Structure 1
Amino acid sequence: MWRDLIERLYDDAEFADPASDAGIDQIERRLGQPAPEELRRLLRETDGVRADYGSCLVWSVQEIIEQNTEFRESADFAQLYMSFDQLMFIGDNGGGDRFAYVRVPAGRPDDLFVWDHETDERLWAARSLQDYLERRAVADGDDWYRKAL
């Protein structure tokens, strides 16, 4: 389902081999947060997706773990930004901004937000992973999420 959708949306989509359930479980163990079911399903089809001239629509399991760990553990980031503990970054726009699920008990678990690396803003971007992929595909520019929805 996910590969078909992405192939329809992005002419230059690049897929990886599927991630294993054990690999995806590593996200939960390392970050202490459950991976959203829609993300699990996508990663079972492809361990990350690149498009839009090589930018990461969705990172691989390893990239998700590494990027989130780096942001949460960096002493420099702790001085500059609000905590990243409640976010689960899954991809980027190629210009420094990152897309994330907000992993808090109360809330809307499938919504995606964007973290702005210049302002530390966390802005709503999409109501689901599919909505994120679709909005990004028809977007004009790297900061599509700033445009009126």
Structure 2
Amino acid sequence: MWREVAGEAFSGAGFSAPVDSAGVADAERRLGCSLPSGLVSLLHETDGIVGHYGVDTVWPLERIVEENLLFWSDSSFADLYMPFDALLFFGDNGGGDQFALVRKPPRADVFVWEHENDSRRWVARDLEDHLRRSLAGDGDDWYQ
């Protein structure tokens, strides 16, 4: 399903080998939380999606883990930004802005974190909507 959604929005989308259940379980253990079911479903089909200009529209699972652990624990971020613990980052626009699912409280909505001003804005009703919108656009600012 996810490869079809991405391919319909952008025929040049890139895919990787899927992640197995053990890989997802290990990531959830490292993160200390469950991953949203839609993201798990996507990762079982492809370990990330590459969109226009080589941008990681959806990061590989290892990057999802590393980026979130960093954002949730780096004490220097506390001086610069509002807390990130309510968000689960999963991709970016190639220019510094990052996309996240809401984990506290769990919601399907996708928000963008704009790094220049630390704003967090709604951009899609769920992961599928995000893929359709982000991959259909030909620029890194499709959500503006």
TM range (shorter): over 0.9
Deviation at 1:43, TM superposition (A): 0.2
Q: What residue ranges of structure 2 are gaps of 5+ in the alignment?
A: none
1:8-19 matches, within 5 Å, as 8-19=8-19
- SS for the counterpart of 1:144 is coil
1:1-149 matches, within 5 Å, as 1-105=1-105, 109-139=107-137, 141-146=139-144
**Kept in 2: contact 1:2–1:42 (CA 8 A):** yes
Q: What residue ranges of structure 1 are gaps of 5+ in the alignment?
A: none
* Bigger strand share: 2
Aligned length: 144
AA of the residue aligned to 2:62: Q
C-alpha distance in structure 1 between counterparts of 2:138 and 2:52, whole Å: 11
Query: Which has the higher mean CA deviation after the structures are superposed, 40-49 or 130-139?
Result: 130-139
**Kept in 1: contact 2:52–2:138 (CA 8 A):** no
C-alpha distance in structure 2 between counterparts of 1:94 and 1:87, whole Å: 19
**Aligned alpha-carbon RMSD (Å):** 1.4
**Kept in 1: contact 2:10–2:136 (CA 8 A):** no
Runs of 4+ in 1 over 6 A off after TM superposition: none
Which protein, 1 or 2, shows the higher relative CO under an 8 Å CA cutoff with sep ≥ 6? 2
Q: Percent identity?
A: 49
Residues 97-135 of structure 1: per-residue CA shift (max 9 Å, x gap): 000011113x6x111101000111110010011100111
**Kept in 1: contact 2:51–2:135 (CA 8 A):** no
Deviation at 1:38, TM superposition (A): 0.9
**Kept in 2: contact 1:91–1:98 (CA 8 A):** yes
C-alpha distance in structure 1 between counterparts of 2:13 and 2:34, whole Å: 27
TM-score under structure 2 normalisation?
Answer: 0.93
- SS for the counterpart of 1:71 is helix
TM-score under structure 1 normalisation?
Answer: 0.90
